[in-house]
Every structure is written in C-alpha cells, then in structure tokens.
Structure 1
C-alpha cells in the first residue's frame, strides 16, 4: 500500500511515472498497477513476467516480515543469561542485533533503483537468512531461529495486489511468518516460473535459470538474493518492451484496442452515409437548408475517425474517464495524466470540428446539378 508520502508525491509530480513507481503502487489510475496488469494481460500478452515480479516482491516481503518479527521477539523476550547459554544462539542474536530494524518498504530492482542504504539492508537481510538457515540445518535443537519457527505454523500472507497470491500456506494466528513460509515461497516461484516446462515458464537466459535452480535445490537457499538477477532482467524487459506502450495507451489515450477498432467501423459507416447523402442533395440540386442535414453524419464520422487516429475519446477525457477494458470506464485520478489527456482532448476535438466543418461547407455551398 502506498504511504502518505507517496500520495504527496503524486500531487507534486509534474511528469509521467516510472515503471518502479507503478510497481511500487505510488501512482493512481489509469497508470496504476491494476491498469498495468490488465495491459500486460490483454495487450502485451506477457503477464507472466509481471506475476513473476510481484511474486518475487512478495517473497522479499515475507523475508522482511520474518526477520522483523524474529528480531523483535528474540531481543525483547530472551533473557540475557539465556542468550549466553548457547554459542550458536548467541551468534544468531548478535546477527539480529547487527541487522537493525528491517524497513517494510516496497521491494525494487536490486541494482537499478536502490540507494546504497536500501541495497545494504537487503544484502544484510539475505546474509542473515543464509546464516540462520545454515545454523538451523546443523543444530535444530539449539538454534534460536529453529525454536522460534517451532512455536509457529506457517502464516498466510497473500499478495496485496493483482495477480496470483503466492504467500506461503499457513494457519498460524497473528499473521506471523515462519521459515517454512519463506522456503515454500521460494520453491513455488522456482516451480511456477523458472523450471523448464513449468506451468508459466518465463524466458530467461539459460545460465541465469540454471544458477537459480542450483542455489535453491542444491544449496538450499531461499533468501531474496537468489532471485535478484532474474528480477532485474524481468524489470529491464518490462521497462524496455512493455512500459512505453503502456504510457502511450494510458497517459496519451483513454481507449482500448477493441474500442478503437469499433470507432473506426462507426467512422467508415458514417462517412459512407454522409457522402451518399451529400452527393444525393448535390446531384438532385436540393436547397441549402436541406443540405445542412449532411452535417450530422460528417460530425459523427469526424469524431470517430479522430478518436481512432489519436486513440482518445475527447468527451470521456473531458469528464475524466479512461477505459481499462472494453466499455468499462474508470475515473482518471493521476493529476498529471488528467491534465495531459485534457490537452489532447482539446486538440482532437478541434481537429474533428474542423474536419466536419470543411466537409459540410463543401457540400452545402457547392453548386447543384439536376440529373
């Protein structure tokens, strides 16, 4: 969920959003994450890449919640004498203290949009999970992490966005996250998107996929850094191939492809009727007050042909609506996008008016011929 600061940025942002701002839910309709998901599903036909990104981000959130809860419960509830009772437990507690408080912010690309502080925090988080998993696998009876996980059952942490939620299946109260949730989440991402022949396999470099498979299956890792190369690759692919078209469709227009084609059909029908009526009144030498009726089909035809050409419905843009699926309209809430669409609506409406006026004047005032 976007923070209050994010909504403040929306009001102050006098530009189109970036892909990371869309993915981190810092934008509003029609350039929000929901609209981008529909665009990837219906127009780009590559929604699996976006789902992979969302699932990896959800995995990062699970890891952060797990370490955050573990740190707080251990540092608050564990007596000092008990901390010193076991060497491995003491080492883990020291790691937790050094880890600091984990910020619950939206996960982003590991190398592209993180500042140094966020990158260091994510690195320390992954390092702790690797060390905690190693300690747990060697001493399940004495490890603090194992003791904490044993007191919990996995929790359900569904994705708070569009797409298929991939939080670990769990039944524990209090929305706690267990280590089993993290492992299940990592394996589900692997089996859903990365393994050759998987249900929703995405195309990634072969070396990247094999490395990820080895880290999870052979090395037993489930920390977020396992997916960083694939996550960055998918982000760059969406940023390069899909996001420009999304902005073109949603920030510079307010129609979906099927609606655009329907407007072309209406325009051609209206032009056919308009020209038929215009030639009829001219060739029959009808008076000008009768010829004025040709204005109607030309207005309709000009409006729809301009809507088709510029992929925008001026009337709907003026009243502040954008089409996200065929004949389903939603209010435009992003301030800069609304201003941009209003400007384009004025221009397209003016072009449509001039086109209809020119055609109407031509057939109203041209000398008639009686055949």
Structure 2
C-alpha cells in the first residue's frame, strides 16, 4: 500500500517526461502509460513482439519471485524447530532461502538504468538460488496448478497485454510449482527465440544461441538466462520506438489516420474558402458579405495546424487524447496535460491568425464587377 502511494505521489510531482523504464514498470499514467505504449508499438511501430517479449520475461521474473516466497513460507511452516537439526536437506534449503534476504517486489531495471543496482543484486541472488536448487527438485507449497499457469499468464492471444495483472506476493492468486517456472522459460524460448518460431524477434545470433543452450542443454530456467536479450530489447525500444511514442503522445493527441483525414479536409476547406473569396471579390460584394469567408478559412486553418502539429487543440483543452481512431481517453499524466495545453494554446493562436489574415486580405481588397 505504501509503495502504491509513493508511486502515485511520484506521478503527481514528476515535472518531466517519463523514461521508458518508468512506462514499462507501470509508473506512468495515460496517455504515456504502458497500455498506450503497447497500442503504439502494435499499430504504428509494428514491432509489438519486442514489447511482448519484455512483458513475458518480466512475468517470468514475477513467477520466480512468487515461487521463492511461497517456498520460504512452506519450509518455515512444514519444518518444526525440533526437526530442523535432523533434516539436512530442509536445513540447507532454509539457510539458502534466508540468505536470499528480502525479495524485491519491483523489477530491476536494465543495466543502463541507474539506481537499480540493489534490485539487480537481489535478482542475481534469486537466480543463483534457482540454479542451485536444480531441476531435480519439484517443490510446491501446495498442490500446484501445474505448468498451465505459465501458459495462461503469457498467452499471446490475450491482447492488449498491459491490462493483465502480475503476480503479487502479498496476495497470490495461486501457488507456483518448479515446473511452472520451467514451462514459462520454455514458452519464451519457443515463442520468441528459436529460429522460425511463432513470433521470432531479431537478436544477435550469438546471444540467441547462448540462451538456447542454457535452457535446452544446461536445463536453466532462472531469470538471468534472459537478461542479455532483455537489455538488448530495452535498448532497441528506447532508441527506435520510445522517442516517437513521446512525440506522438506527449506532444500530440492524434493518431496517424486522424492526422491524414484532417489534411484532406483542410485542403478541401481551403479550396472552398478561396473559391468563395474570389467570388465575392470578383462580384464586388459588400464587406459585410465578404466577412463570411472567414468560416471556411477558420476551419481550414484549424485543421492544417492540427495536421502540422499532430494535435487537436479543442480536445487537448478538454483533456483527451486519441489512442486509436476516434477512441479518446482522458489525459491523466499531469506534466503531459500541461504540455498539451500549452501547445494547444499556441496552435489555436496560429490557426486564428492565419484565418484572420486571409479573411482581411479578401475583405478589404478592392472589388471588381465581371
């Protein structure tokens, strides 16, 4: 509860644009939240498989944390004090679990993200424990649901992914067996990494071969197996996709199809405005009639500026952003709303001045009768 309150307070007082890791960690609000980033990667970047890989690896880490926390509880409950001295296996396991220390609920950031060294160290100890435990043991705090849980939590058919919940050690939905972790690691391997797999992502060949060997030959399923690939995918998204996402969602509030439609309508409106303007001038109409040409010019200017800056000023003032065509959602990130309001104010002024300048030109130009 305290962590949730701290995250909310951070969102309220963040006077900057978020980082990619903050978005992936669900520490941001619409329209720069994980759901919006997923939609952007799917519809505009056309590389949602990279984001799905990141989410599945993060889910795998959550699965491992959940398993170890439940295992620690089960060992403490199932091994009475008087029996610990007689049970070398239980004593050794309990000692290893105690050496893990506190298992962080939050995810450690990639190696390039500063300030997450403590979490990465804890995750390293978690992976070391899973490796030492080995594939021969099949501990479960209770009867597990089996490997089906790993497949259910990472099914590629359930999209968009970010709306799904993650494992939470404070209120687990079900227990996790060692086989679940193995099934989760294999699912990631068969879905994203094997050549010709269903949703293969492009990684360096040496990196892919190493991960395949670690899982298939060495029998590893700890989270550190995927760390190099996870760092690589993070850097690729940060370099190639995230700047465009911020440009589209933090500095604008329209999707590409809406932007294109506005350009078409703006050109039609400009055509109609110029036709009407030349008509009233060449027919020598009085100025009170010529004033009506401001309407098509105003519509055209508004839409062309909206196209140019990728923002609908009216919707920005109302506090809405378009995440898919004609689907609007409230802007909840405070700093983004401030940015969009400022840009909306500037674009409205530009549109009004453009329409006024064109209208004045044709209102006061001397008329002639043809």
Give the TM-score of the pair, scaled to structure 1: 0.91
**Corresponding residue for residue 274 of structure 1:** 273
Q: Which residue pairs with 1:77 in the alignment?
A: 78
What is the alpha-carbon distance in structure 1 between the residues aligned to residue 327 and residue 145 of structure 2? Answer: 42
1:70-127 deviations in Å (ceiling 9; x for gaps): 1122123311343333433332221011112312213432553452321210010000
Return the offset for 1:147.
4.8
Instruction: Determine if contact 2:64/2:181 at 8 Å carries over to the other structure.
Output: yes
Distance 1:114 1:60, change over 3 A: farther
Give the match for residue 161 of structure 2: 163
- Residue number in structure 2 paired with 1:7: 8
Give the Cα–Cα distance (whole angstroms) in 1 for the partners of residues 68 and 120 of structure 2: 16
Distance 1:174 1:14, change over 3 A: closer
SS in 2 for 1:72: helix
Specify the alignment match of 2:66 in structure 1.
65
Distance 1:161 1:133 in 2: 34
Per the alignment, residue 256 of structure 2 pairs with: 257
Moved more, 281-290 or 219-228: 281-290
Checking the alignment, whether the CA contact within 8 Å between 1:48 and 1:200 is kept in structure 2 is: yes
The alignment status of 1:93 with 2:94, answered yes or no, reads yes
2:178 is equivalent to residue 179 of structure 1: yes
Equivalent position of 2:144 in the other structure = 152
Q: TM-score, normalised by structure 2?
A: 0.92
**CA distance 1:124–1:180, change in 2 (3 Å):** same
Q: Secondary structure at the match of 2:328?
A: strand
Question: What's the counterpart of residue 240 of structure 2?
Answer: 241
Partner residue in 1 for 2:211:
212
Residue in 2 aligned with 1:26? Answer: 27
Q: Give distance in 1, aligned partners of 2:273 and 2:112.
A: 58
Q: Write the mapping of 1:276-355 to structure 2, written as runs, cut at 5 A.
A: 276-355=275-354
Question: 2 CA distance for matches of 1:211 and 1:20?
Answer: 25
Contact 1:253 1:341 in 2 (8 A): yes
* RMSD between aligned residues: 2.2
Deviations 1:141-174 (A, max 9, x none): xxxxx35367434273736994287999xxxx95
Unaligned runs of 5+ in 2: none
Q: Please, which runs of 5 or more residues in structure 1 have no aligned partner?
A: 141-145
Match of 1:116 in 2: 117
Q: Matches of 1:131 and 1:219 in 2, distance apart?
A: 12
Instruction: Report SS of the residue matched to 1:156.
Output: helix
Q: Is the 8 A contact 1:61 1:107 kept in 2?
A: no
After the TM superposition, which of the residue ranges 107-116 and 178-187 deviates more from structure 2? 107-116
How many residues end up aligned between the 2 structures? 358
How far apart are residue 251 of structure 1 and its match?
Answer: 0.3
Q: Per the alignment, in what secondary structure is the counterpart of residue 140 of structure 2? A: helix
Structure-1 residue corresponding to 2:368: 369
User: Larger deviation: 256-265 or 103-112?
Assistant: 103-112
Between the aligned partners of 2:75 and 2:115, the Cα distance in structure 1 is: 29
In 2, the alpha carbon distance for the partners of 1:148 and 1:60 equals 17
